[in-house]
Chain A
Amino acid sequence: MDSLKRVSPLNFGMDPEETEELNGFEVVLKYKGESKGPALIDLSHRPRWDLQDGTLNKFNSASLPVPEVPGRVAAKDGFVVNRLNRTQAVIWALKGKGPAMPEGPSSTDITDNSAVLGLVGPNVFRVLEKVCPLDLTPANSQAPYLIQGPIMRVPAQFVVLEGVDDNPGVVVSFSRGYGPKMVEVILEAGVEFGLKPAGEKRFSEWYAPKPEPEGEKK
C-alpha cells in the first residue's frame, strides 16, 4: 500500500516539477513546461468552510470579516469570505495555511464538496464567456466580488479577485464531481487564448500583494 494521500478531483495530466505536502494533499506548485500566458490552476485542496446561521452578522470580526451584503467578498491575509445570502457565507483559504475553521455548530468543512479553479492572466474573461452566460464584469463593480450562477449549466460561485485590467484573476467553485469535465471544457475554450494549466505557485505569486506604484508610496 502506498502512503495514504488525499486526492484532488482535478488532474491536468501534466508532469509536476515542484510539489509540496499540504493537509494530506500532494500539491503541485509548478508543472514542467508551464507557459506564461493565462493559467488554469487547481485550488481544490485549499481549505473551505460553510458558515450558516440565522444571525450571520454576529460572526463578523477582525479575524473573520463576514460581509454584510450578499454578493460582497471580504479578502484578508489570503483568505476570502463570500457572502452568499442572508444566512450563508463561505470561507476560502486561498493562500498559506489560512485561519482555522470557525468554531461552533454553524461551520461545516466543505473542502471536499467542491472543485476550485483559479484563472489568472490576460483574456481569462474571454475564456469564461465561452462557457458561462453570466456578466462577470458588471459595470461599477469593484473587485473582489462574488457572482453566483451557472458555468456550463452547472451552479457555481465566481469570485473576481481582480477586475478587467491586463492581469485579471477569477476563482470559480462548483460541485466536485464536475471537476474533471469542467477542466476539459475550460481548457478547450481557452485554446485560442493560450490558456494552460499551471501549479499553485502561479496563483500565489499572482495573488501576492502588489507593490504600490512609485508615486503612490506613502
Chain B
Amino acid sequence: MSRLPASPTQRVDRSKVLSFSYMSEPRQGFEGDTLATALYDQGIRIFSRSFKYHRPRGLYSLDDESSTTMMTVNGIPNVRAESTPLREGMKVMAQNVKGSPEFDLMAVGEKFDGFMPPGFYYKRFHKPYKYWPFFQERLRAAAGLGKILPEFPEDYYENVYFNAEVCVVGGGPAGMAAALAAAESGLRVILLEARPYLGGFYDWRTVKEDGTQPLYERGRELAAQVAKTENIRVFTSTALTGFYANNHLTARQKGLPNDRFVERYMEVRAGSVVVAAGCLERPLIFEHNERPGIMQANTAVRLIRTYGILPGQRAVLAVGHDLGLEAALDLASAGMDVAAVADSRPQGQDESLVAALEKKGITFLPGFTASQANGVKRVSGVALTDLQSGSAKSFNCDILVAMAGLSPNNAPLAMAKAKIVYDPETGYFLAREMPPHVHTAGRIMGLCGGAEIEASGRLAGLRAASESGPDLTVALKEAQEALAGLPGPKGGSTILRSPGPGKKAFVCFDEDVAVKDIGYAAEEGFNTIELSKRYVTAGMGPSQSFLPGVNFPQLLADYLGKEPGSIPATTTRSPFYPTLMATFAGPNHHMSKKTPLDASQKDLGGIFRVVGVWERARYFSPDLDTTEEVKAVRTGVGMIDVSTLGKFRLHGPDSLKALQRMYVSDMSKMVKGKLKYSAMCNEDGCVIDDGVATKIGENDYYFTTATARAGQTVEWFRYHTRHDGWDFNLVNMTDGLGAINVAGPKSREVLAKVTDEDVSNEAVPYMAYREIKLKGGIPARLLRVGFVGEMGFELHVPSSWTQAAWDLLWEAGQEFGVKPFALEAQACLRLDKGHAIIGTDTELRLNLHDLGLSFLLKQDKDIDYTVGVAALNLAEKQEGRLKAVGFKTDVMKALPMDGSIIVNDGEIRGHVTSCRLSYALQRTVGLAFVEDKYSAEGSKLEIWHEGLESKEPLIATVTKPPFYDPKGDRLKM
C-alpha cells in the first residue's frame, strides 16, 4: 500500500490493516476504505467489463452512481465495490468476464457492434422467426450480470422502523443545519446519510470560503453539534431508497465492520421531511468517456483527501463547474502533474480559482471540452476541442477528470410527487410545488456557497419543525431574512455532448447506450422519453438513472429539435439504491402460532406442518401412515388437539339478531345445553364457514368456527351489522380455550375417569353442551360432536389448563389403548362420513345448495335478511352449476390425488377435492365437485391425475355420502 501522508481530511485508519483477496490473490487495505479504494490502492484499474460490449470499466464514481465496480464478494454477485466498506477476509472476484477483467474473451463482441443497434434482437434474430429460439438461448447465456449463489451465505439482516417529527435526508451542510434547527424545539429528528460519515461535499474540501475555516473543518464542527444533540438520531451509510405518500420513507443501511447487521431495511414515518440530497455530477459525454482512468471530479479528489490515494501521475480535467477547477488545484497540490484544465464555459468561472490555476502554471482552456479519450484498457490521452472553432489540442494523461456540470439529486422529490421543472437560468431541473410537509435545502435547490447552503438548511429545518406544533414565527422570519441576503441558485455549464460521432460516447454506462443510439431511436419514432428509454434501455441497468439522469432527456429533446428542458426525466422508482433481497426479508421470522399442546404433541412423535397461522401435528407416524391412528378411533379411542378451532363468546341484548343475520339457520331455536350445527355464507350464498353454536345464558352465546375463519369472524359480524346499531359484543376465545377431541367407542369410558359428572348418553346425548369440571377443578366446556364419525367429546379448556386436561385424559386412556391422532387421520375419518372441510372441499363457486346443505337454510325467521340468502334464492333453480358429490372408485383401492381433474366427454367437468383410502370400508372414497349433469348418483367420473401410470383414467361412481355408518348410530351410542 502506498498512500499519501496522513491528513486531517482522511477517513482511513492506518492502524487497522484489513486483509482480503481479489481474484484469489491476497490484498490489503485499511479500515475506512471501500473495497474499490483498497483495490485502487493496490493498482487495480479495470474493475469490470461492460454489459453489452465488454468494454473495460474502471473507478468512475464513489457513490453508487454507476455499475462499473460491480463484483462478486463472498459469493454475492453485483456488489458495488465503490460503496462497500472493506471487511476483513472478503473474497472478491470479478464477474461477467471470460478470463479476467484485463483479458476478457467476451470483449471480441465489440467488433460486431455495428450489428447491435437498439432493438437488435428484433432486427437481427426474428426474421425468420423460427430461428429466434436458437438465438434467444445464446443471447440469454451471454447476457446477465453475475451468478446467483444457490447457498446464500448466512448472515444477519434486519428490518427497523423509526418514527419522528422530522426526517432529514442528506447529512451534508444543509442537512445538518436543518436537523439542528429542527431539533431546537425538542422534537425527534432523524438524519439519514448515505456515506459512512456526515459532512457532504464539505468533507474533503480544504477551501476557506469564509476566509478562515476550511470547509472540512466546518463540516466536522456541524457533525459534532449534531452528535451531541440528543434528539437527533443519525444513521450513516444509509441511502434513501423510496419516498412514499404521507412521508413514509424507506432506506437501506449498510453495516460497518462493528455492526451486527450486514445490511438493514429501514422504514421511517415522519411528520415532515427535509430533502437535502445535494447534487450529482452530470457526466460529460464524449468518445470513449468511460475508459478506465476517467472519473468524476469528486472521485479524484476524494481518493486523495478521504483515502490518501494518488489517482495517477498526470491528469487532465474537462469540467463545467467551479468544483472542477477546485479539483484541479487539489490534484496539483497532492503532487499530480495537471497537464490542462478544459472548461466548457467560455466565461463565468470563479476568478480566484482561475488565478490559482495560473499561479500553479496549469494550462487553462475556457470554452474547451474533451472530445475523445485515447487508450484502450486505460486512458492514455485526451483531445480537448474548442467548442467555438472546433480546433483540438491533445494531451497525454493517465487520469482524466470529466464532469459536464452538476445535476440536483431529485430522485426522492420526484417520487414524492414534487413538480420538477427545468430552470433555464441555472440549467438545472429544480423542484417546485412541493408536496405537503416536504422541504428542500442546500445544493438540491441549486445553491452553491456554504453560507447559503447552511442558511437554507436552517430555514427548512425550522419550517419542518413548525409543522409539528411549535410556534417558530420569530425564528422563521430571521432565517428567511438571512437566506434572502445570500446568493441564490447558480448553475454550471449546460453542455450536453462534445463534438464527435457519438458512436462510443456513452450516456448510460450500465447498458452501453451511446449518444448515437438515442439518435437512432428518435429517428425510428421513439419520440417520448419513456418509449425511448425502453427501446435503447438507457437507465434500465443496475444503477438506474443516476448517470443518464438529465443528459438523456436533454439529448432526446435535442435530437427532436425541442427546447432544452421540454422533456422530463424518466420516472423515478424505488429502490433508488440496490438492496439485497435478504435485507428486505430481514431476520425472516415466520410468525406462526403454537397450540397449548404443542410440546406434548411433539413428545408423542407428532410431525408438524404449518397450517394457516398455526403449527399443527399432521401425522404421528414417521412413515406418514395413519392406519394406526384411524384404527384407534374406529375401534377404541383416540385424542386429537383441535385447539385451533375458532371459539367465540357473543353477548349483549342484540346478540341473537347478529346470529340470525350471519347464520343461514334459525338460531332462535337454540336452547341451553344443546348444540346447533349451521353455516355462514357470503353475499353470494357461498359457504364460508360452519360450526356449532349454543346458548349459554340470557343474550349470551358460544359458537365455533373453522380454524381458517377464526381471525376474521369478529370483523365479519361487525361489517354485516355496521348499519344496524345493534348492541352486541364478541370475544374471540380461540387462543384462550384449548380443545381436545376424545373420539371412539371407548371415549366415554375415558372421559368418565377424569370427571365426577355424569357423562352417560342420557346425561350428555349427541349434540349436547355442558359446562363441567375435570379432576383438579379444571373447568371445561363439553361438546358432544361427531366430526370423525364416532362417539366423541370435544373439551374446550382454558389454554393454561389444556395440557393438564390432556395429561388427565391420556393417563385415563391408557387402559383403553388410547392413541393420539392428527390432521391427516382426521381427514380420513371425516371423509368416511362425507363431511366437507370448508376451504378444502368448498370454494367460492359452490353455494349452500351446491354443497347439499340446503336443509340448514331457514327462510322465515325473525330477521330482515340473512347474509347470502338473497343470492341463494336466485341460484336455487339455476342450471349448470357445479355440485359437490361423494364418490367411490370402481377399483377398490385406486387412489387419485387431491385436485385430480375429472374429464368426461372430452372436457374438464370438475375435480377431486379430497380422496382417501377408508380404513373402515377398505376402499377409496372421496369428495369432488362436478358439473350438475354428472352429479346424479351412479354417474361415472373419469379421473386423471399427475403421475397416473395408466393411459386410462380412474373410474369412480358418484355415491351419496355418508359412506360409513349412514344412520349415525355410532355417534349416538
Tell me if chain B binds chain A: yes
- Residues of A with C-beta under 8 A to B721: none
Cβ of A140: which chain B residues have Cβ within 8 Å of it? 469
Distance (whole angstroms) from the CB of A149 to the closest CB of chain B: 11
CB of A130 closer than 8 Å to a CB of B: yes
In the complex, B690 has a CB within 8 A of chain A: no
A192: B residues at CB distance < 8 A = 260
Interface pair B587/A185, CB less than 8 Å apart = yes
Question: Is residue A58 contacting chain B, with contact meaning CB distance below 8 A?
Answer: no
Number of chain A residues whose Cβ lies closer than 8 Å to a Cβ of chain B: 53
Indicate whether A132 sits within 8 Å of B161 (C-beta atoms), given known contacts A106-B651, A184-B589: yes
Determine if A152 is an interface residue (Cβ-Cβ < 8 Å).
yes
Which stretch from B624-632, B731-739, B817-825, B885-893 is at the chain A interface? Answer: B731-739
* A105: contacting residue among B160, B592, B595, B651, CB under 8 A: B651
Q: Can you list, as one digit per residue, whether each of A138-166 has a CB less than 8 Å from chain B (1) or not (0)?
A: 11100000000000111000000000000
Q: Are B589 and A185 in contact (CB under 8 A)?
A: yes
CB distance from B266 to the nearest CB of A (A): 10
Closest Cβ–Cβ distance, residue B642 to chain A (whole Å): 14
Whether A54 is near chain B, meaning CB under 8 Å from some CB there, is yes
Q: Mark B635-649, 1 if CB is under 8 A from A, else 0.
A: 000000000000001
Name A139's contact: one of B162, B187, B700, B775 (CB within 8 Å).
Answer: B187
Does residue B566 face the partner (Cβ distance < 8 Å to A)? Answer: no
Q: Encode B724-745 as 1/0 by CB contact (under 8 A) with A.
A: 0001011111111100000000
A112 within 8 A of B: yes
Report the separation of the CA atoms of residues A34 and B595 in the bound assembly, to the nearest whole angstrom: 29
Residues of B within 8 Å of A176, CB to CB, are 596, 735-736, 799
Contact of B160 among A114, A129, A135, A153 (CB under 8 A): A129
Q: Which of B158, B591, B737, B804 contacts A154 (CB 8 A)?
A: B591
Known contacts: A4-B804, A7-B803, A184-B589. The answer to whether A88 contacts B729 by CB under 8 A is yes
A1-31, CB < 8 A from B: 1-2, 4-9, 24-25
Q: How far is the CA of A190 from the CA of B595 in the complex (A)?
A: 26
Residue B699 at the A interface, CB < 8 A?
Answer: yes
The answer, yes or no, to whether B125 is at the interface (CB within 8 Å) is no
Q: What per-residue 1/0 map shows which CB atoms of A177-204 lie under 8 Å from chain B? A: 1111110110011011000000000000
| Residues in B whose Cβ lies below 8 Å from that of A130 | 158-161
- Please tell me if A133 contacts chain B, counting CB pairs below 8 Å: yes
Counting CB contacts under 8 A, is A53 at the interface? yes
Residue in chain B with minimal CB distance to A115: B735
- B165 and A139 contacting across the interface, CB-CB below 8 Å: yes
Q: Which residues of B contact A9 (CB under 8 A)?
A: 594, 596, 799-800
- Contact check, A180 vs B594: say whether CB atoms are below 8 A apart: yes
Does A110 have its Cβ within 8 Å of any Cβ on chain B? yes
A113 in contact (CB, < 8 A): yes
A57 close to chain B: CB less than 8 A: no
Query: A152–B161 Cα gap in the complex (Å)?
Result: 11
- Tell yes or no: B530 within 8 A of A by CB: no
Assembled-state Cα–Cα distance A24/B811 (Å): 21
CB neighbours (8 Å) of A87 from chain B are 729
A152 touching B591, Cβ below 8 Å: yes
Interface string of B750-793 (1 = CB under 8 A from A): 00000000000000000000000001101000000000000000
Given contacts A130-B159, A181-B592, contact A8 B800 (CB under 8 A): yes
With known contacts A52-B729, A178-B591, A184-B589, A139–B469 Cβ distance under 8 A: yes
Q: Could you say which residues of chain A place their CB within 8 Å of the CB of B661?
A: none
Cβ of A50 < 8 Å from any Cβ of B?
yes
Question: A110 to chain B: which residues have CB within 8 Å?
Answer: 731, 733, 736
Closest to B652 in A: A54
Contact, CB under 8 Å: B798 / A112? yes
Determine how close the nearest CB of chain B comes to the CB of A96; give it in whole angstroms.
Answer: 19
Which chain B residues border A5 with CB–CB below 8 Å? 804
Interface residue B593 (Cβ < 8 Å from any Cβ of A): yes
Could you mark each residue 86-130 of chain A with 1 if its beta carbon is under 8 Å from any beta carbon of chain B, else 0?
011000000000000000011011111110000000000000011
A-side contacts of B187, CB under 8 Å: 139
B interface: dominant SS: mixed
Give the residues in chain A near B776, CB-CB below 8 Å: 4
Q: Is B947 an interface position by the 8 A CB rule?
A: no
Given A1-B811, A88-B729, A175-B735: A181 and B651 interface contact (C-beta under 8 Å): no
B807 at the interface (CB under 8 A from A): yes
Q: Which residue of B lies closest to A45 (CB)?
A: B800
Q: B322 at interface (Cβ–Cβ under 8 A)?
A: no
Residues of A near B398 (CB, < 8 A) are none
Q: For residue A126, give the distance in angstroms from its CB to the closest CB of chain B.
A: 9
Cβ of A108 and Cβ of B731 under 8 Å apart?
Answer: yes
Residue of B nearest to A8 (CB): B800
Answer whether A153 and B591 are a contact pair too, CB < 8 Å, given A4-B775, A129-B160, A139-B187: yes
A191 adjacent to B729 (CB under 8 Å): no
Whole-angstrom CA separation of A180 from B468 in the bound complex: 39
A177 is contacted by which of B158, B593, B778 (Cβ under 8 Å)? B593
CA distance A25 to B803 in the complex (A): 13
B214 nearest CB across to chain A (Å)? 36
- Give B18-57 as 1s and 0s: 1 = Cβ < 8 Å from A's Cβ atoms: 0000000000000000000000000000000000000000
Q: Are B589 and A152 in contact (CB under 8 A)?
A: yes
Contacts of B363 in A (CB 8 A): none
Min C-beta distance of B779 to chain A, whole Å? 10
Q: Are B595 and A113 closer than 8 Å at their CB atoms?
A: no
Chain A residue numbers with a CB within 8 Å of B651 are 52, 105-106, 108
A179 to B593, CA, bound (A): 8
B163 within 8 A of A: yes
B801 touches A (CB below 8 Å): yes
Is the CB–CB distance between B269 and A135 below 8 Å? Answer: yes
- B590 — which chain A residues lie within 8 A by C-beta? 181
A179 near B594: Cβ-Cβ < 8 Å: yes
Q: Name B residues whose Cβ lies closer than 8 Å to a Cβ of A.
A: 158-163, 165, 187-188, 260, 267, 269, 468-469, 587, 589-596, 598, 613-614, 649, 651-653, 697-700, 727, 729-737, 775-776, 778, 798-804, 807-808, 811
Known pairs A110-B736, A111-B800; list 18 more (Cβ under 8 Å).
A5-B804, A9-B800, A24-B801, A53-B652, A105-B698, A106-B651, A108-B733, A113-B732, A113-B733, A113-B736, A129-B160, A129-B162, A133-B269, A176-B596, A178-B591, A180-B594, A181-B589, A184-B589
28 contacts between A and B (CB under 8 A): A4-B775, A4-B776, A4-B804, A6-B801, A7-B804, A9-B594, A24-B800, A25-B800, A87-B729, A105-B651, A105-B699, A110-B733, A111-B736, A112-B800, A113-B733, A130-B158, A130-B159, A133-B161, A133-B267, A135-B269, A139-B468, A176-B799, A177-B593, A178-B591, A179-B594, A181-B589, A181-B592, A185-B589
The 6 closest A-B CB pairs, nearest first, are A177-B593, A113-B736, A52-B729, A135-B163, A6-B800, A4-B776
